[in-house]
Structure 1
Amino acid sequence: MDTRHMRFFMALAETLHFGRAAERMNMSQPPFSRQIAMIERTLGVKLFERNSRNVALTPAGKHFMEDCRNVLGQFEDACRDVRLVASGMKGELRFGFMMHAAHSVVPELVQLYAKARPDVRLVLDERTPTEIDEMLVAGTLDAAVTFDCGYAPHLQTVLLARERLRIIMREDHPLATVGQIYPEKLREEKVIAAPAATAPALRSAINSYFSAKGIVPHVVLEPRLQHTIIQLVAKGLGVALIPASLCTGMGTGLISRTLTDAPQLDVVLRVPMTTKNPAVSAFMEIGKSIQRTSL
C-alpha cells in the first residue's frame, strides 16, 4: 500500500460511484475496480458494500477513509514544505550577533527578514566577535553581524554600517565638562576595554587611537562584554571607548563625549561561502538594503 492506492480508495469513498471515481483517476472502470479489489485483498478487510445499484462504505471503510484523509493531507503538507525549504521560504536560520549590535542594525535586520520570510525560524545567538568568527568557521552559524576583522576568503561579507567610538565616563568626571576629547587628555586616565582575545577589531582600534599619539593606554580592567564595561564605568573605575550605538540608554550618572579623530569600525554581515542553507540569500539581500554610512 502506498499513497497511490490511498488515492484510488479516496476517489471511490468520496464519490461512491465506480465510473466517476475511475474518471477522477484518469482511467477506465475495469482496471480501477481491480485496484479497489486488490486494496481490500491486501488489507484483508471489506471496505465497500456494493450491488448493481449502490456503493456504500462499511464501518471499516469509514474509519479507513478518515485515516487516509489525514495521511494524504500530511503527505501533501510534507511535499509543500520541502519545496518551501528548498526555495528558502521555510526552514531555520541560525543568526549570531555581537551584543552591542542589538542597539544598532540587528533589530531592523530581524524585523525585515521576519516580515519577508515568516515561515523561517530565526535562532538568535548573542556572542562575542571572536566566538562569532569561530562559529562561522565551524558552520554552527548561518549568518552573523560582527566587526570587520579584514579579508576573510571563506566568508561572504556585506557592509551594514560604519560606527564611530565615543568615550563614556561618570557625570562627575573632570572631563565631563569638555565637549570634545583629545587623546592627549586621556594619557593618565584608567581605561576599561574588552580584551583582544574577545573583540580583536575593537581593541585594535582603541590601541591604535592611543598609539597614533604615542600614548600607551592605562588599561586597568578587561571585561568581555560591553554592558559590563558600562557598569564598571558607572562605578567610577575608569573611562571607556565604546561603539556610539551603546551610548543611548546607558542610565543616569553616565555621559558620552565625542573623541577627536574618533576610531571607526565597520559593522558587517557575514555568511560562510560554503553555506547550503537556501534561507540565507534573502537575509543577505535584506542586509544590503539597510546599509548605512555611519551610526
Structure 2
Amino acid sequence: MDTRHMHIFMALAETLHFGRAAERMSMSQPPFSRQIAMIERMLGVKLFERNSRNVALTPAGEHFMKDCRTVLAQFEDACRDVRLVASGMKGELRFGFMMHAAHSVVPQLVQLYSEARPDVRLVLDERTPTEIDEMLVGGTLDAAVTFGCGYTPHLQTVLLTRERLRIIMRADHPLAGAAQIGPAALRAEKIIATPVATAPALRSAINSYFSAKGIVPNVVFEPRLQHTIIQLVAKGLGIALIPESLCAGLGAGLTSGTLTDPPQLDVVLCAPIVSKNPAVSTFMQIGKAIQHASKSI
C-alpha cells in the first residue's frame, strides 16, 4: 500500500460519495470502486458501510482516516523539506571561527545569516586557526572565519577585514602611555605569544615584526588561547602582541598601546571550493556583503 492508495481512501472518506471521490482522483467510478475494494482486501478490514443511497465510515475507517491524515501530512512535509535542503533554505551549517573573531566579525555574520536563512541551523564551533584548517580539509566544518594564509587552492575565501596587532601590558609598565612602541623598545621584554602550531599566520606576523629590525623576540610562554595570554600579561609575566579586537575591555590592570608600523592580518571567511552543503553559498554571499560594507578594506 502506498500514498496513492491513501489519497484514494481519503477522497471517499472526506466526500462519502463515490462519484465525487472518483472525480477528485480523476478516475471513472468503476475503477475507483475497485480500488476501494482492493484497499479493504489489503488491510483485511471493512472501511466503509455502503448501500445504494449512503456511504459511511466504519469505526476502523474513522481511525484509519486520522492516521492517513497524519502520514500524508508528514510525507508532504518531507517532500517540502528535501527541496528546501537541496536549495540551501533549510538544513544545517557547521561554522568554525577563531576565538578573537567573536569580538569582531562573527556576531554580524551570524546575525545576517540567521535572518536570511532562519530554517538553517548554525552549529558554532570556536577553534584555533590550525584546527580550523584541519576541519575544513576533513569536512567537519562547512565554513569558517580564520586568518588568511596565502595560496589556498582548495578553499574559496572572502576577505572580511584586516586586524592590526597592538601591544598589551600591565598599566604600571614603563612603556604604558607611550605614543608608539617599536621593536627596539621591546628587545629586552619577555614576550608571551601563541605557538606556531596553533596560529601560524599570527605567530609569523609577530616574529617578522621583530626580525625586520634584526631582533629575536624573547618568547617565554606560548599559550594556545589569546585569553590565556591576556591573563598571563595581567600577572606581570610579560607583554604580548594581540589582535586589536581583543584590546577593548582589558580590565583596570591592563592597557594596550600602538605599535610602530603594526603588523596586519587578513581575517577571511572560507569554505571548500567543492562543498556538498547548499547552505554554504548564501553564507559566502553574506560574507561578500560584509566585505563591501567594510571601511577597513
Same fold? TM cut 0.5: yes
In 1, are the aligned partners of 2:223 and 2:229 still within 8 Å (CA)?
yes
Please state if 1:84 is matched with 2:92.
no
Alignment of 1:18-29 (within 5 A): 18-29=18-29
Cα distance between partner residues in 2 of 1:188 and 1:60: 89
Contact 2:177 2:257 in 1 (8 A): no
Once residues 108 and 266 of structure 1 are traced to their aligned partners in structure 2, the CA distance between those partners, rounded to angstroms, is 17
- In structure 1, the residue matched to 2:182 is 182
Residues 105-254 of structure 1 correspond to what in structure 2 (within 5 A)? 105-254=105-254
Unmatched runs of 5 consecutive residues or more in structure 1:
none
Q: Match for residue 53 of structure 1?
A: 53
Q: Measure how far apart 1:274 and its partner are.
A: 1.8
User: 1:294: which partner in 2?
Assistant: 296
Deviations 1:18-48 (A, max 9, x none): 1111111111111111110100011110000
The residue type equivalent to 2:231 in the other structure is Q
Distance in 2, Cα, partners of 1:106 & 1:48:
60
Task: Please state how far the C-alpha of 1:177 moved relative to its aligned partner.
Answer: 2.1
| Contact 1:193–1:223 (8 Å) recurs in 2 | yes
- Contact kept in structure 2, 1:167 and 1:241, CA below 8 Å: yes
Contact 2:193–2:203 (8 Å) recurs in 1:
yes
Q: Percent identity?
A: 84
Cα separation, partners in 2 of 1:290 and 1:161, compared to 1, 3 Å: same
Q: Which residue of 1 aligns with 2:103?
A: 103
SS in 2 for 1:32: helix
Whether the 8 Å CA contact 2:18–2:29 is kept in 1: the answer is yes
The alignment's TM-score, normalised by the length of structure 1, stands at 0.99
Under a length normalisation based on structure 2, what TM-score does the superposition of the two structures give? 0.98
What's the offset of the Cα at 1:251? 1.8
Alpha-carbon distance in structure 2 between the residues aligned to 1:251 and 1:32 = 79
CA RMSD between the two structures: 0.9
For structure 2, the residue ranges without an aligned partner over 5 or more in a row are none
- Write out the 4+ residue segments of structure 1 that deviate beyond 4 Å after TM superposition: none
Q: Give the Cα separation in 2 of the matches to 1:285 and 1:17.
A: 54
Deviation of 1:104 (Å): 0.5
Query: Is the Cα–Cα contact under 8 Å of residues 164 and 244 in structure 1 kept in the other structure?
Result: yes
Number of aligned positions between the proteins: 295
Aligned equivalent of 1:266:
266
| Alpha-carbon distance in structure 2 between the residues aligned to 1:162 and 1:177 | 25
Q: Which residue of 1 aligns with 2:42?
A: 42
Describe the SS at the equivalent of 1:181. coil
